Amino acid sequence: MEIYPDYIFGASQPQLYQWIKESHPALYHKVKQRVKEGRFEAQGCMWVEADTNLIGGESMVRQILFGKRFFREEFGIDIRHLWLPDAFGYSGALPQILRKSGVDYFVTQKMSWNSINRFPLHSFQWQGIDGSRVLAHMLPEATYSSPALPWAVRKIEKEYAQAGVSNRAMMLFGIGDGGGGPGEEHLERMMRVQRIPSLPIVKQERAAEFFEKWARDGQWFPVWVSELYLERHQGTFTSASRNKRWNRRIEQALHNCELLASLAMATGGSRYPALDAIWREVLLYQFHDILPGSSIKRVYDESCARYAIMSDNLAAETRKALKSIARRIDTARMTRPAIFFNTLSWPRSHWIKGKRGWRSITVPAVGYAAVDSADGAGGHFDISATSDSLENDCVKVRFDRDGSLKSFYDKQAGREILTGRGNRLAAYRDDGDAWDFPANYADLAPRYFALISSRARTEGPRAIVTQRYELGYSKLTQEIVLTAGSKRLEFRTIANWLERQSMLRTSFPVSVQSTDATYEIQFGHVKRPTHRNTSWDLAKDEVPAHKWADLSQRDYGVALINDCKYGHKIKGNVMDLCLLRSAPYPGPRHVQDNEVKPGQPHHAHTDQGKQVFAYALFPHEGDHVAGGVIREAYEFNYPALVIDEKPHKGRLPIQHGFVTIDNKAVCIETVKKAEDSGDLIVRLYESTGASVSCALRFGLSVAAVAETDLMEENPKAIPLGDAAVRLSFGPFEIKTLRIKTASKMQ
């Protein structure tokens, strides 16, 4: 910077600035001075350049919340662009989250990596699943490491797809992949290319300046609707499965801890815990080469160890909040009080085992129910379990000799769900790396896990078959569970996975006909084709989804639900889920097999050793909305929280809901303390893709309610009457409410 006065350096990711601040304060002082001069640009609004396929909706919000607040507090800068050149595809939920966070622009180059189709746009209006739009720029040079040579400038001029409506395009020069930025050779070249009269005008300037000038032509940019699906790196939906499971669990633990701590605070109990440090660390591990599985082994050894510590800390804080609320509940008339907590936004039923047997209870939305576990009498359950069948009042399941499903009959609908054998645990040859697996992997016959034993039992309302399998040195146990009153068939799995260069998958051929399937993403869902009519359809073979994927025709459908898996493939009528991959870390390694003893985890391959995961098949009448798939998947991922108490008096009733909604389409995703006050933040979204209205009623003493943006700013008061507010949502719309409580409940 001292030698080249025109040189402007750009760096994203507040996490990196934070590390410099902590470890190199003198250098950080120089950085702050250069930022003030306009020579050093803080870029991007996320805490790190995060993956956007796999992280949860609230994580996506916090990436931006923490990122923008850091740059504002440290440098007095409000970042209005998302800098994400290298992530592996971009969720259709992003445009709304960006707009509601005060972010108007998005830059990438990754779509140029498509393996089949050429992405046709460079400057465009990106429209999300809710209809929100941001202006997006995909680098015409198709790289963030431009050599700054004349041919690079000429390539931009020649390739820029929107040259007819805009005379501005961005060139990122220097060493971007792996960091380092421009060297002296790049800056010398820049001085020269600026003097070549036959080339377009080249100018060094801050990205923020570029976006403001470039956006003047934005109204003429074409529109791209929904997700930006990258036709490459589909292996990242599954690689490093253990890390993905930890991320899902920590996201859920943060949801529960924040919600319960908020309620404890609002009811006059314990103080709200300090969770920012945990959030920042979770956000760090969502970097686009960590969570997707494309980092070295050391990263996963260290992050998994840290996840375990964070999980314990969150469990302790959650228990503290549970105890705080439980102490205020009047359980004086009970012999053995047990308090069940529901952190979801609708009432849900639970089976509980008391001293005298099992019974069902209903817990209010965002609330609790205190029950006396000494009460109740055991009843008869219409269930049965044998080594080759499970049955309840809703469905009957039959197993083949190899342990796979040969029949799944919906007794209530009077129809067979399967058209072939389901849940054959197949290991395919996988010669890929952490990023990609061969597109033709299914052309070769897989190896199947062999059934070793099958044992049946019943536990109250649950019918269970435990199956044990082996494949080479690998062993796998599944508890297949069917519960009274439910059509959901669960596969709870523990595996000691020792295969190398192999991919484990399960599949279910179902009796449903549809040209598209539905997949959950953050704050909503998208439809993708089940056929290969065009090259664009063909490219969407393996696709990401969160808690569920669904294949439905108008009258009937089947959902595949999971607790930590993301790689899905639904083609024709076959629903397929990728469970594990053993690929080299993070690319080919020259490790001899004789370095590892037979039957031991191979340190050079991913997913070796113990793996725990669960998935479920859920048939339903109607489509995914009518069939209740969204709620079913939430309940599968968020088990009941329970705490035992001693009998005591209290001012809270034996059951209570703190927030209730009168429309099934609206979900509460988050309840937390406001960033800058003791108010509560409630974040909701419309989950079905419809325009709806609802009443939100509070079981707290509320003084005022305002709607804010995702930064918890720009409040707009909402009329409050009889402890309730009325809200209107567009399809997949997110709303954030700031709740000022009138007084603490004692």
Alpha-carbon separation of residue 184 from 255, 410, 632 (angstroms)? 48, 70, 58
Structure tokens at 609: 């050793």
What are the CA-CA distances from residue 591 to residues 235, 588, 595, 682 (Å)?
A: 21, 9, 7, 51
Longest dimension (CA), the chain: 90
The helix/strand/coil state of 724 is strand
Handedness of CA 618, 623, 624, 627 (dihedral sign): negative
| Nearest alpha-carbon partner for 606 in 586, 625, 576, 590 | 586
* Beta bridge partners of residue 88, listed in sequence order: none
410 in active site: no
Helix axes 14-23, 276-284, angle to 10 degrees: 120
Catalytic residue among 78, 86, 372, 722: 86
> One-letter amino acid identity for 21?
K
Instruction: Kindly give, in sequence order, each residue whose CB lies less than 8 Å from that of residue 460, ignoring residues fewer than 6 positions away.
Output: 351, 353, 357, 358, 378, 381
Look at the alpha carbons of 327, 329, 333, 338 in this order and tell me if their dihedral is positive or negative: negative
Pairing type for strands 734-741 and 641-644 reads unpaired
Separation of alpha carbons 231 and 365, rounded Å: 41
Q: Are 429 and 444 in contact (CB under 8 A)?
A: yes
Least Cα distance to 565 among 328, 299, 245, 337 occurs for: 245
Parallel/antiparallel/unpaired status of strands 692-698 and 659-661: antiparallel
Cβ contact 739:668 at 8 Å: no
Residue 465 burial (CB count, 10 A):
22
Query: Which are the catalytic amino acids?
Result: 86
